[in-house]
Structure 1
Amino acid sequence: MNSFFVDATVPLRWGPHPVVGIPRVEFAIVRQALREKSGKAAFFKVERSGEARLLDSREMHYLVDLVEGRLRNIEDAAEQPFLDRLGTVARAIRDGAAASGKEFDRVSASYLSGRTDRRGLSYQASKALIRGLKLTGLGRSGSRETRDPLSEPGARCFLSTAGLHYLASSKRSTPLSASISTVLHDLIPIEKPHLTDRSHARNFARDVEWMFNHCRQIIGVSNYTAQQASLHAEGLGLEQNPRIAVSQLGSFLKASMQGRELEPVPSLFGRNFALYCSTIEIRKNHILLLKLWASLLPELGDRLPKLVFCGRWGWMYDEVKAYLASHPQLAEHVVILSDMSDAQLAWLYRSASFGLYPSLAEGWGLGAAESLDFGLPIIVSDTPSLGEATQGLMPVCPVSDMEAWRTEVRKAATDPCWGDALRDRIRRDYRPIDESAFAMRLLSLVQAEAPLEPSIAESPASRPEHTAGSSAPIHAERQRLKGMSFGKHRLGRWPVRAAGSGLPASSP
């Protein structure tokens, strides 16, 4: 009987549409667990009630097709007539997406209505139609497994971000007896709540409190995230802190494109452009790039590449919208792309002149790592995890230093030697972390009978010559937190606690 279980709630809630951000990571974890030849893992989901159950045979079949990309994605062939698009959505719901979450509804409604901004009457009507189709019970199976692995003593369970959220927000009646591990992407909504929506920050704080109180092990996606988790654990003053481990994230887009053709974006084919791939929200600092482009246009003219934002609209983006509206001269020089397929995204990375990542806060920086996977030089902010994700190989600009960004972008746009030297550096020194290495490291940590020898791995970005990944932010954070109140507890002096050894990078 299985004693190792993997939570598949995120893929099942996401459904068959292009995967981005954290869902992309959790798809990878489930996919690699399914591919493991030993077949050790059984798969479960967590309901909104907080109760968990193993997947039935139909759900397992759907899960395999979903994470292996065998299902037709919502948004494929968006130019088709409405009835054809409706048929695509209905088939997805019939095949298993009836249990998917709100993001599936939003993406499908955008696909049906043609409203990429997710606004307007047609969008709202489409969303209501989709929820009605889901409520009809399309695709629901009659029988359900009842075994709950979270209640089994001795079971070792990987808990997804969605599963953890449901547990933290519910009043689960069944005791938790399993040994639970989960992945932590960042602590940004707690450390910098002004960069996120208030309700999300409240929910996140509740989820993190549950995580630190109920999980045996928390696995950070970067050394920086693990260090911040250690600081947070010490501040909580728990009787027994969870073990903090590391499985460095890497990026997975390039591997998913093996054997597949890249798909050009027609409006950019043959054009000179710079790329920022990220959700459009306040934390990602798109406003800096808009101001930068507005200031460089009079100086560089046609030598300045088009500025391409590739990502969905998130939250707290009013400043971006207002700046674009008040600077009409940017209309011909800024391109915003949403809901790109993997084939289109890979083409953007391959075809851009250089990348940009001015984010104010990150747990890793997936878009930055993806850029290097495709050999694309990228300018990153001095957010510590970005130096770790790019292995200290790329130019770093202070996040609020407009003049530094102006100088670096000017060189990138006008000096061919700038890009040539960085591309050579990527080819020579970059060590990509592939999906299987990341996921199998993480899953081995979940299965471990006893904690591994504690250590925090030194990534290239943490060496002294690379200030973006230095330990200075950690020491600064210690000073900031020292003496602060955390509930009834007060933070004193402490060492940064144990994190598992970092993931060895795979060969190119």
Structure 2
Amino acid sequence: MTIERSDARTEDGEITRPPTLVPVVPPILAIDATGLMYWPPGKGLAGVPRVESFLINAALADPDPCVEVVAFRSGRFRPLAPFEQEHVAMGEVPPHRAKRWSGRSTALAQSFEAVRQHPWGKRDADCHLARTVTNGKGGFNFHAVRLLIRAYRLYQRARARLGLRQGVPSQAAGAERSLVLISQRILTQDDRSAVSGVAGDLAFLCHDLIPVLRPDLLGVDTGEGRYGSYLEQLVRSGAPAFCASDAVGATLTDHMREAGIAPPVVYRFPMPSILHETASRMGATFRIEAGEPFVLYCSTIEVRKNHILLARIWQQALEEGVKLPKLVCAGRWGWMIEPLRAYLKAHPGLLQSITFTGLVSDEELIQYYRSASFGVFPSHIEGWGYGASECLDFGIPVIVSTTPSLIEATGGLMPAIDSNDQAGWYAAIRRMAEDMAWRSSLVDRIAKQHRPTPTSASWATIKAGLQTSAASCRSKNRAP
């Protein structure tokens, strides 16, 4: 698209000519798939990976040529290779996005060029390039190519140290830069260049500030320790934030002000009801009755999620002779759960009342939501709390903690109790299990006041925010 104007004459007869025609090129909007590339294929997605998978697949399905999916490789955000597309796509890659493998010789030449441009890349970069050359296949050829690429990288480093290698620009002069919505992994990896100006114009999903506010709940992972400094670097550079809850947006703004940093532009997007949409496609949203009543807690099992509170409550019920429904904890085992394991070992009878399913598929999780009596979500701190909002999506009431994001995720419709108030939780769980009239009133409240959020609405909001940010970045970059 161009803007055209014909020559014009002034009152004195002089001809004025319009400036040179300049094409109006829409900005490129890129969704970063780096984080999802590290998630094992075929494994159930939850939390942050589920949201990032939704974004990546929404971008793959979008027919807009100005939308693309990238990953951070060899010092730059680059379009996905064919085997990477297959790894992150839910189902087949749409024809307008599908890429053909360029062949071993071409891929090897492109890999050598990537090494020349970024000789200080690490071993994981060599592995990725080797997979590109072998089209995602392992075996002898992969290992041979990986060793060849590593040898070439060491050669390029030696030339650089000896001053025999000229600098190679990481980006062509005058090229339009993409606005990249980076994945959570970028904020925890050890390559600081990924959040620098070298990487281009960036935006970030701020799922939460837990690594900054409550590092005591995350263990000693060094990657999480980088989160705060990387976040501040992004905000200083002018990167906008995309938040699923107003609570996280406000927390981010307050944190930056306390650090003496001008807060970022914050875009609030509605969290999509991904699992409910999957269930709708399957025709599996209607209620089914369980053979035995049970309470559901869908969450990774980690110290922050406060499973030990529930274990103590179910143990208290056993000791008092109170019959509570079975508790089903759906989710993989995570970190800092030694106190929970010790408590379960000290009270072996609890395993008759509590079931830990481990990681479950979407189909299994949908079945749990359709048949649970009610849900619980006593987490100490959250950015959103998917398991709580998914309860409402499937029409079942849930008791949540008083952390602001959980109250927001459930629309203020559900009972909320402090995560450390065992007596309050015990009383609420007993009432939910025994007072059918109260539970039914909450079910009616959900039916009247809650609606699942279509993924298309979430993607449209995020895309509009990215377009606004990209236009703003372009104006700044072109300002004299």
1:189 CA displacement: 1.6
What is aligned with 2:55?
29
Residue identity in the other structure for 1:310:
A
> Structure 2: any 5+ residue segments left out of the alignment?
1-24, 94-122, 125-136, 150-168, 473-480
Residue identity in the other structure for 2:52:
E
2:257 pairs, out of 224, 234, 237, with 234
Q: Residue deviations 1:367-408, cap 9 Å, x none?
A: 100111111110001011000000011111121111111111
Residue identity in the other structure for 1:283:
R
Residue identity in the other structure for 2:270:
Q
Q: Which moved more, 1:334-343 or 1:292-301?
A: 292-301
1:201 CA displacement: 3.8
Classify the secondary structure of the residue corresponding to 1:52. Answer: strand
1:338 CA displacement: 1.0
1:247 CA displacement: 1.4
Describe how 1:89-168 pairs up with structure 2 within 5 A. Answer: 133=138, 137=142, 153-166=176-189
What is aligned with 2:30?
5
Residue identity in the other structure for 2:354:
V
Is it true that 1:205 corresponds to 2:228 in the alignment?
yes
Residue identity in the other structure for 1:14:
W
Counterparts of 2:174 and 2:220, CA distance in 1:
33
Q: Is the alpha carbon distance of 1:424 and 1:18 closer, same or farther for their aligned partners in structure 2, counting shifts above 3 Å?
A: same
**8 Å CA contact 1:164, 1:211 repeated in 2:** no
Q: Is the alpha carbon distance of 1:136 and 1:246 closer, same or farther for their aligned partners in structure 2, counting shifts above 3 Å?
A: farther
1:345 CA displacement: 0.2
What percent of counterpart residues are identical? Answer: 33
What is aligned with 1:193?
215
**8 Å CA contact 1:150, 1:177 repeated in 2:** no
**8 Å CA contact 2:188, 2:224 repeated in 1:** no
What is aligned with 2:380?
360
Q: Is the alpha carbon distance of 1:448 and 1:330 closer, same or farther for their aligned partners in structure 2, counting shifts above 3 Å?
A: same
What is aligned with 2:299?
278
What is aligned with 1:44?
70
1:311 pairs, out of 308, 327, 331, with 331
TM-score by length of 2: 0.72
Higher relative contact order (CA 8 A, sep 6+): 1
Is it true that 1:222 corresponds to 2:248 in the alignment?
no
1:420 CA displacement: 1.1
1:357 CA displacement: 0.3
**8 Å CA contact 1:152, 1:177 repeated in 2:** no
1:151 CA displacement: 9.9
Residue identity in the other structure for 2:406:
L
Q: Is the alpha carbon distance of 1:210 and 1:151 closer, same or farther for their aligned partners in structure 2, counting shifts above 3 Å?
A: farther
1:287 CA displacement: 0.7
Q: Residue deviations 1:167-207, cap 9 Å, x none?
A: x6345699537331110011012111211112254132233
Is it true that 1:376 corresponds to 2:396 in the alignment?
yes
Residue identity in the other structure for 1:28:
F
What is aligned with 1:290?
311
**8 Å CA contact 2:71, 2:78 repeated in 1:** yes
Residue identity in the other structure for 2:352:
E
Q: Which moved more, 1:380-389 or 1:427-436?
A: 427-436
Q: Is the alpha carbon distance of 1:173 and 1:404 closer, same or farther for their aligned partners in structure 2, counting shifts above 3 Å?
A: closer
Counterparts of 2:139 and 2:311, CA distance in 1:
40
What is aligned with 1:328?
348
Classify the secondary structure of the residue corresponding to 2:35. Answer: helix
What is aligned with 1:400?
420
**8 Å CA contact 1:54, 1:148 repeated in 2:** no
**8 Å CA contact 1:250, 1:432 repeated in 2:** yes
Classify the secondary structure of the residue corresponding to 1:198. Answer: coil
**8 Å CA contact 2:188, 2:225 repeated in 1:** no
Is it true that 1:418 corresponds to 2:438 in the alignment?
yes
What is aligned with 2:165?
none
Counterparts of 2:67 and 2:139, CA distance in 1:
29
Q: Which runs of 4+ in 1 moved over 4 A?
A: 132-136, 140-143, 146-154, 171-175, 449-452
What is aligned with 1:448?
468
What is aligned with 2:153?
none
Q: Is the alpha carbon distance of 1:241 and 1:150 closer, same or farther for their aligned partners in structure 2, counting shifts above 3 Å?
A: farther
Q: Is the alpha carbon distance of 1:181 and 1:174 closer, same or farther for their aligned partners in structure 2, counting shifts above 3 Å?
A: closer
Is it true that 1:184 corresponds to 2:206 in the alignment?
yes
Is it true that 1:53 corresponds to 2:75 in the alignment?
no
**8 Å CA contact 1:149, 1:157 repeated in 2:** no
Q: Residue deviations 1:237-281, cap 9 Å, x none?
A: 23x543222113243111022232669xxxx95121101110111
Counterparts of 1:451 and 1:3, CA distance in 2:
10
Q: Is the alpha carbon distance of 1:451 and 1:353 closer, same or farther for their aligned partners in structure 2, counting shifts above 3 Å?
A: farther
TM-score by length of 1: 0.68
Q: Residue deviations 1:453-475, cap 9 Å, x none?
A: xxxxxxxxxxxxxxxxxxxxxxx
Structure with the greater alpha carbon radius of gyration:
2
Residue identity in the other structure for 1:216:
A
What is aligned with 1:341?
361
Counterparts of 1:177 and 1:25, CA distance in 2:
23
Counterparts of 1:211 and 1:315, CA distance in 2:
28
Q: Is the alpha carbon distance of 1:400 and 1:230 closer, same or farther for their aligned partners in structure 2, counting shifts above 3 Å?
A: same
Residue identity in the other structure for 1:40:
C
**CA-based RMSD:** 3.4
**8 Å CA contact 1:250, 1:434 repeated in 2:** yes
1:341 CA displacement: 0.6
Counterparts of 1:346 and 1:193, CA distance in 2:
32
Classify the secondary structure of the residue corresponding to 2:345. Answer: helix
Counterparts of 1:243 and 1:194, CA distance in 2:
29
1:427 pairs, out of 433, 438, 447, with 447
**8 Å CA contact 2:384, 2:409 repeated in 1:** yes
Residue identity in the other structure for 2:420:
S
Q: Which moved more, 1:434-443 or 1:320-329?
A: 434-443
Counterparts of 1:134 and 1:30, CA distance in 2:
29
Classify the secondary structure of the residue corresponding to 2:312. Answer: helix
Classify the secondary structure of the residue corresponding to 1:19. Answer: coil
Counterparts of 1:152 and 1:356, CA distance in 2:
51
Counterparts of 2:469 and 2:196, CA distance in 1:
24
What is aligned with 2:282?
260
1:26 CA displacement: 0.4
Q: Residue deviations 1:206-228, cap 9 Å, x none?
A: 33233323352011121000001
**8 Å CA contact 2:299, 2:331 repeated in 1:** yes
1:385 pairs, out of 405, 409, 433, with 405
